[in-house]
Structure 1
């Protein structure tokens, strides 16, 4: 079953760009924006994550921590993070097992999706793009986060 709005987010553990294990359950008590994206350094993904980078202060003011998830490995994430000065954690879902649980696994690769989890890890906002060329802009997400209170 895939992750649905107003349900508990499926738990997972993935490696970050520095080789550390990120465990969703350990992030309880924090609001998280999980950003599933198809790949590092691709045009739409780069624009999307740089847009979120440019608004990181707004996300922080709203008490939201941004976490990127793609199939790319740690080395790719390190280069991508450094090249674009990304201030958030990037996780590797190389086998797409987490993407599948969140409804972001495509026939080939990963779909683009964003999930806002509240402090209890309930999904309060969910959007999975039907077409990879589209993305949720920072303003749309900030508006949705503010509407949730």
Structure 2
């Protein structure tokens, strides 16, 4: 994997591989999508908080558009599988939520924290070959992650 001198994951880098448990208990790997679909991988701070709920529901409301664009949406936070299951059911989320309980995947993607306290809100667009094509970081405009992701997918 290549990284810049700042140690950040950059556009053009190979996306770090991972396998994490989903809200229904099955293991999901980035490799599962290789050669088949682009992946919209979004890291968010916490289930059922106002900004994260707004972001998840915006991804839900645009989910069919993402599928039509040949992409799968994956949400990652450090919440438990049970918390993800409840969050997903409560808001009828059609996409996979992954539990990164120890924060290892967040760390491998070098997702920055906000004010050194809050887990960051960052979306990565990963193409079918596993290459990062776009990175969008914004803690305070959760809805913009959806428009950024769709705009990038149209160029792939």
Q: TM-score, normalised by structure 2?
A: 0.87
Question: Is the Cα–Cα contact under 8 Å of residues 103 and 128 in structure 1 kept in the other structure?
Answer: no
Residue 111 of structure 1 deviates from its aligned partner by 0.6
- Distance across 1 between alignment mates of 2:8 and 2:105: 10
Select which of 124, 131, 150 maps to 1:142.
Answer: 150
- RMSD over aligned CA atoms reads 1.4
**How many residues of Structure 1 are paired with residues of Structure 2 in the alignment?**
146
Q: Which runs of 5 or more structure 2 residues have no equivalent in the other structure? A: 1-6
Residue in structure 1 matched with residue 117 of structure 2 by the alignment: 108
Aligned to 2:9: 3
| Whole-angstrom CA distance in 1 between matches of 2:56 and 2:96 | 11
- Partners of 1:8 and 1:61 lie apart in 2 by 24
Alignment match of 2:56 (pick from 33, 49, 54) = 49
CA contact (8 A) 1:2 1:100 kept: no
Alpha-carbon distance in 2 for matches of 1:143, 1:23: 25
Does 1:14 find its partner at 2:20? Answer: yes
Query: 1:3: Cα distance to partner?
Result: 2.3
